[in-house]
Amino acid sequence: MKLIRWPFLLITISIVSCNMPSNSGDSNDMAKWFDVGYDGSEGGKDSSGLVAGDASSNVAEVEVPAIPIGAALKGTYTVVVADANGDLHQGSGFLLDKNLLVTNHHVIDGFHHGFVRINDKSPNYAINEVLKVDVRHDVAIIRVESIDKPFVLPISKEMPQLSQRIYALGCPKGLEGTMSSGIISQFREMDGNGVCEDAAHASFYQTDVQITNGSSGGPVVNEKGHVIGIAVSGFGSGLNFLIPARFIEILNQGTY
């Protein structure tokens, strides 16, 4: 990849390109961690730290509160990864637990070491390990050092609808803390061409929201601030794609 010096990160990085995922995959089981609405507080392994959606919890199902769109940036991170050759690559990601972050597989492919941060005024948090990957759907779960004041973004329990307003958060072209808005344009099959009847059957969400190099792995949220997808591919001219958020939960449950 072409190396570009970004003053925003004060290091030489290679901006991660937004490629469509490949067609092979593997995953294991991490069933607890992605309970919708977990607030990242201590005591996360007993039921007091859980809300609706976790099979091990007896807590009654509750409505996850809305998050102001601007506040969702507090749970959105720049992901900087070095490969074995020392080349640095950048993408985006978002926090779903106090020590766990989701991004695209292609952002962390070849990971040797790296860090995440909210912006250039915040601390760097080391990436400890890549826990799980779904190569086919381009999703990865990574573990990071304990983050100060973690802000967890909940997965939406509502499937998005055509023409619904959505917001992409991330670090396009090295510009940390960027927001852009658009709509769901169509639901697509795995090849990116065929039309699906609804979001529940889609492999991609087509959108006109801005997605470009560096956006990959960032959260895309609805007007409640809940994650409906992961930014993955940008072709410009309002033709961009998201990975449905349900694939995070599939990876978590180890159903492949």
**Mean pLDDT, rounded, of the chain:** 79
Rounded Cα–Cα distance for residues 8 and 27 (Å): 34
Residue 237 is predicted with a pLDDT of 80
- Residue 24 in domain: no
Rounded Cα–Cα distance for residues 236 and 41 (Å): 39
- Residue 84 in domain: no
Number of structural domains in the chain? 1
Active site positions, annotated: 106, 138, 216
Residue 254 is predicted with a pLDDT of 58
Per-residue pLDDT band for 235 (boundaries 50, 70, 90) equals: confident
Rounded Cα–Cα distance for residues 189 and 131 (Å): 27
Residue 4 is predicted with a pLDDT of 36
- Residue 103 in domain: no
- Residue 208 in domain: yes
Q: Identify which of 4-8, 21-25, 142-146 has the greatest average pLDDT.
A: 142-146
Rounded Cα–Cα distance for residues 191 and 20 (Å): 9
Rounded Cα–Cα distance for residues 86 and 89 (Å): 10
Residues in CB range of 235: below 8 A, 6 or more apart? none
Residue 146 is predicted with a pLDDT of 81
pLDDT score of 65 more than 70 = yes
Output Rg (C-alpha) for the chain, integer angstroms.
17
- Residue 237 in domain: yes
- Residue 249 in domain: yes
Any idea which of 58-67, 130-139, 144-153, 188-197 has the lowest mean pLDDT?
58-67
Any idea which of 13-22, 151-160, 245-254 has the lowest mean pLDDT?
13-22
Whether 126 and 167 have beta carbons less than 8 Å apart is answered as no
User: In CATH, what number is assigned to the domain containing residue 200?
Assistant: 2.40.10.10
* CA nearest neighbour of 90 among 122, 115, 126, 73: 115
Whether 217 and 134 have beta carbons less than 8 Å apart is answered as no
Residue 250 is predicted with a pLDDT of 87
Residue 15 is predicted with a pLDDT of 45
- Residue 223 in domain: yes
Coil vs helix vs strand at 241: strand
Q: Give the tens place of pLDDT for each residue, 12-62.
A: 344 444 444 443 343 333 222 222 233 333 333 332 222 223 333 344 567
- Residue 209 in domain: yes
pLDDT score of 63 more than 60 = yes
- For residue 255 the two structure tokens come to 């159903």
For 187, the domain range is 165-253
Q: Identify which of 8-17, 31-40, 90-99, 187-196 has the greatest average pLDDT.
A: 90-99
